[in-house]
Structure 1
Amino acid sequence: MTPTPIPTTRITVLGAGFAGLSTVRALRRQDPHAEITLVAPRAELHYLPGIIWIPAGLRRREDLVVPLENFFRRQRVRHVAAEVTGLADGGRTVLTTAGPLANDGLVIATGGRFLKKLPGIEHAITPCEGIAAAERIRDRLRAMLGGTIAVGFAGNPKEPSAVRGGPMFEFLFGIDEQLRREGRRDRFELVFFNPSAEPGARLGPKAVQRLLGEMARRGVRTVLGHKMVRLEADQVVTEGEAFRADLILFMPGMTGNAWFDATELPRSPGGLLQADAQCRVPGFERVVVVGDSGSFPGPDWMPKQAHMADLQARAAATNLLADLAGRPSQATFPVELICIVDAIDHGTLIWRTERRQLMLPPSRLLHWAKRGFERHYLRQYR
């Protein structure tokens, strides 16, 4: 039986990151008349892919924080400055620090949070926590006269896709290149550590070998295949080895937002929101999830990156609008990993789909392509 169409289309989008903003654009392209409300603490987009350039001075905070007032005005979006605390009425009411908000359709795009269970993790800087973390790395590097810099990441053992390792390779290679430019590389030891013997396997086997080969070429020591035990103020301890570290950069695995715990939303074993191939949340009518918040069916190398969020946003918007109008829709998204692993003045392209894999050798052109993409991507929000 065809569902009864809903006369009004009040759509609430939770989150002002890549996933939320991409969904807003997709919704507005398909429905010029929908009433869209976006909930986020600030009307700002923080372009986190650019934080890899902060330590070397190629980017500043003001380059990466984009005010969204103009974008919201153009897209006719109402912004509610608040944090989400829960849901009620099967998702039809969003509970926030600014009060309850009713909706006819809901988009959950509040990202994820990092697992901070490793003992001593407070001794490490987690780069992707934001711009402030990258600024701390910049300031620490400036103050250091020498020593050992340890760079590593880990995953969520219950959620294979909930890992963000790409930026750590970029910080590692970027710091190496920066120290060489400054004529200080011989005063530092760089160590890359990971509990897997093949770190970055989600990028593909060829990419792993290329990245490890690049580390060897640059004189980066590797500590691989040993489970993490703890971090200390001046060392990293694994089950196989402990080594000194004067600066530790560590990216743990990801899990779901804390506010998910205050709902009955279905969760994956790793703590993310369960989603089907159409980005719908099972058991919740007219509720979709996009980006890092969701656990989607597909290969275990499915990336957590802005490009993937863009692809999911299109499918989620199409299906949500169809559900609101009482139309059938089974739009899905392709699984595609694409990134340029940058090292300040050159980059390596990695592209992977379920059928193909491509890796281009390092070049200055790819570095400038990454910078050009940033400029193009942010223009739509300025």
Structure 2
Amino acid sequence: MSRITVIGAGFGALTAVQKLRKLDADLHIDVVAPKPEFVYLPGLIWIPVGLRSGRDLTLSLDSFFKRLRANFHAGRVAGIKHNGRLVVTDNGEIENDGLIIASGGRFIKKLPGIEHAITPCEGIPAAEKIRDRLAAMQDGGTIAFGFSSNPKEPSAMRGGPMFEFLFGIDRWLRKQGRRDRFELVFFTPAEKPGQRLGEKAVKGILSTMAKRNVTTYLGHKIKGFEADKVITEGAEFNADLIVFMPGMTGNKWFGESGLPLSEGGMLKANRFCQVEGQDKIYVAGDSGSYPGPGWMPKQAHMADLQAEAASVNLLEELQGRRPSATFKSELVCIIDSYDTGMMVYRTEKRNVVTPAFAGFHWAKRLFEWHYLREYRK
């Protein structure tokens, strides 16, 4: 019986567990993560405006692991040994015949004063902090929303959610009749924010910002933050609340793992999601740097596609065959605005952007319900 270790408990990791079990009923699967729980990160955008709570988005994985006969090990990975055949955690070591790394990335928090900004995709506590700060701003104020990338790994960013936090909070304030008390500001080093979504989407996003009276500071490198100020090379402006998503890089332990890294600090993978030059070591989701178009996103959908390919290929390797499964570069998202949404779809052949429509907001909520059914059983 082969033994596979999956590192992580997010989208890519859980998809890998499902795919592995579907392909091999007898496989021994070990899962390593700090907690046996799944946080549905796309729903974080709705916490500040009261459409979701932390409890809504946090699911125990105990029954899921039991049903799929996966052995959960609570711990934080510190490294690997013996060419990946041994995973070292702060709670023991785990042997394997094959390894899938789907432990996500980490935000680059090196800008001076970044402690004054809230990074919403860090999890539920961050989203709740935005909610609480908004509740305290009864008399209004200035809210600044921004993001940056990893200069050495341009695709390693979380730009999409920042548009959703901005547009969602704008719409929510308007529904409350309080929008006139607030100034909303958007800033990013990119001259055309949202380029990975396509030119049509960029025009739509900037047009929406203009229509909603959002002040923009674009194309200037971010120098740092103060408690009530954003500082860029082109301008400084005051802000009572700063919501900022920095670029991403790989997990800290990657640097000492001996595994090949991209210039931006991610695990370097080939088109089969195999870590380059490694025997039976695969990567899925934000942990990896993959060949493909420059617009290929860091999002849950891509993590799922990569995890499926990684699972198929790892089992092929274990059976003495060469990996053959590849993943499709596909961007699918709904940019939500509290009660409306704009859908963006992009492949290497097509790029579709729809007008904002209330039905897409409900489609996003329906997808959340559908996706989480597997973990609520």
CA contact (8 A) 1:279 1:296 kept: yes
Q: 2:135 aligns with which of 136, 139, 142?
A: 142
Partner SS for 1:362: coil
Aligned pairs for 1:1-382 (under 5 A) are: 8-144=1-137, 145-382=139-376
* Equivalent residue, structure 2, for 1:4: none
Q: Distance in 2 between matches of 1:243 and 1:83?
A: 39
Q: Distance in 2 between matches of 1:85 and 1:283?
A: 21
CA contact (8 A) 1:85 1:262 kept: no
Larger mean CA deviation between 370-379 and 23-32 belongs to 23-32
The letter for the 2-side match of 1:317 is S
Per-residue deviation, 1:56: 1.1
Q: Distance in 2 between matches of 1:301 and 1:111?
A: 19
Which digits, 9 at most, give the CA deviation of each residue in 1:248-284, with x for residues without a partner?
A: 0000000000111221011000000000000001222
Q: Distance in 2 between matches of 1:159 and 1:20?
A: 22
Partner SS for 2:375: coil
Q: Distance in 2 between matches of 1:360 and 1:377?
A: 23
The letter for the 2-side match of 1:132 is P
Q: Distance in 2 between matches of 1:24 and 1:225?
A: 42
Partner SS for 1:100: strand
The letter for the 1-side match of 2:294 is D
Q: Distance in 1 between matches of 2:119 and 2:104?
A: 16
Per-residue deviation, 1:329: 2.8
Q: Distance in 1 between matches of 2:305 and 2:278?
A: 22
Which digits, 9 at most, give the CA deviation of each residue in 1:12-31, with x for residues without a partner?
A: 00000001001111111111
Which digits, 9 at most, give the CA deviation of each residue in 1:67-105, with x for residues without a partner?
A: 001100111000001110000000000001111110000
Partner SS for 1:20: helix
**Aligned-residue identity in percent:** 61
Q: Give structure 2 stretches of 5+ with no counterpart.
A: none
Partner SS for 2:99: strand
Q: Distance in 2 between matches of 1:304 and 1:267?
A: 17
Q: Distance in 1 between matches of 2:140 and 2:54?
A: 26
The letter for the 2-side match of 1:252 is P
Per-residue deviation, 1:328: 2.6
Q: Distance in 2 between matches of 1:38 and 1:100?
A: 12
Q: Distance in 2 between matches of 1:83 and 1:110?
A: 10
Give the alignment's Cα RMSD to 1 decimal: 0.7
Which digits, 9 at most, give the CA deviation of each residue in 1:182-236, with x for residues without a partner?
A: 1111011000001111011111111001000000000001010111111111111
Partner SS for 1:37: strand
Number of corresponding residues: 375
Partner SS for 2:115: helix
Q: Distance in 2 between matches of 1:48 and 1:189?
A: 27
Partner SS for 1:23: helix
Q: Distance in 1 between matches of 2:130 and 2:308?
A: 36
Q: Distance in 2 between matches of 1:309 and 1:58?
A: 26
Q: Distance in 1 between matches of 2:313 and 2:323?
A: 6
The letter for the 1-side match of 2:273 is C
